[in-house]
Copies of this chain bind each other. A is one copy, B any other.
Amino acid sequence: MSHLFLQALNGDTVPRPPVWIMRQAGRYLPDFMKLKAKYDFFTRCQTPELATEITVMPIDQIGTDAAILFSDILVVPQAMGLAFEMKPGQGPYLANPVRIAADVEAVRVPDAEEALSYVMDAIVMTKQTLNDRVPLIGFAGSPWTIFCYAVQGQGSRNFDIAKSFAFTEPEAAHALLQKITDTTIAYLKAKVKHGVDAVQLFDSWGGVLSPVDWELFSGQYMRQIVDALRDDIPTIVFAKGCWHSLDAMGTWGASALGLDWTIRPEEARRRAGHDVTLQGNFDPVRLMSPPDQIQSMVKEMIDAFGKDRYVVNLGHGILPNIPVPHVKAFVEAVKSYTPSS
């Protein structure tokens, strides 16, 4: 447990907080864009050599304290028989979304380790390439977030079709959520077996639900996953827009809770309690600010969260148009952090 990132997840006292960036292996890096021009999205995910190269790229070029396996949350529903495509410039698309109860019955719970063996191969290869320089994070979408895409069939601002299905066909909705949960647990356990050092759940669309509906359709399923994993490995739960349930999430036994940028550090800590690490929450668009401003804002953010039980990150994925020197300024500000006296 000598890595700063794992120490912070464990609640150890650290000289400075670790830093990584959601979507750090992505479109703001020119070398990534070269690979993107040559290989389509799922080819990059499914070819271990490419996934490894992309995963390690920000460690070499930006210097973050953890790597996150290049992959996508939609590989799980793909393995369940939902044939997602990635439409360029538009995002995920499913020609035959789940719309009636009978569609749910057709969704299968696969042997995740076998069905997603290319992910396992990528983990093994990435771990070898990283050679213990930094820990490797594996991830999955929350069951609710996968459900949103499976029912809506594509991205959406409010996922009204997915929500309507949940509200009018609750029995079928819960059956689908449980299938996704079971698959995700098996998938993450296989990832652990192949070498990831921590796992993060992305509840990207939990924020479209009211607090009561979130507990019903998202929270209880993520809790099952944390319960199944937490004795094996540190777990991080990032429920974007779900500030209202940080109190509940703080009791799940997760190692860390991710935060978006709409909550003040002091309030996040007050809600989540003191037995969990917090991760976040710099506004991704604030990386457009001049580098000297970025550095002073990062210092203020760490002062507000406190250096311990804290992982520096953005409040959501990095945007494609962020200049690389700004990203380096962000990471450098963390690495040179000293507490205000």
Contact = CB atoms under 8 A, between A and B. Distances in A.
30 contacts: A157-B157, A160-B284, A160-B285, A160-B321, A163-B283, A163-B285, A163-B288, A164-B285, A167-B285, A167-B286, A167-B289, A168-B288, A168-B289, A168-B290, A207-B262, A209-B283, A210-B262, A210-B283, A210-B286, A211-B264, A213-B283, A213-B286, A241-B241, A241-B262, A243-B243, A243-B244, A244-B262, A244-B263, A244-B264, A244-B267
Which one of A163, A241, A315 has the highest number of Cβ atoms from chain B below 10 Å of its Cβ?
Answer: A163
Contacts of A157: 157
A158 B244 contact: no
Contacts of A284: 160
Nearest to A290: B168
Contacts of A264: 211, 244
A283 B160 CA distance: 11
Interface of A: 157-158, 160, 163-164, 167-168, 207, 209-211, 213, 241, 243-244, 261-264, 267, 283-286, 288-290, 315, 319, 321
Nearest to A283: B210
A330 B170 CA distance: 20
A92 to B, nearest CB: 14
Nearest to A166: B285
A208 to B, nearest CB: 8
A147 B267 CA distance: 29
A149 to B, nearest CB: 15
A319 B209 CA distance: 15
A202 B164 CA distance: 25
Contacts of A315: 210
Given A210-B315, A211-B262, A211-B263, 10 more contacts: A160-B285, A163-B283, A167-B285, A167-B288, A168-B289, A207-B262, A210-B283, A210-B286, A213-B283, A244-B263
Contacts of A241: 241, 262
A135 B272 CA distance: 43
Contacts of A289: 167-168
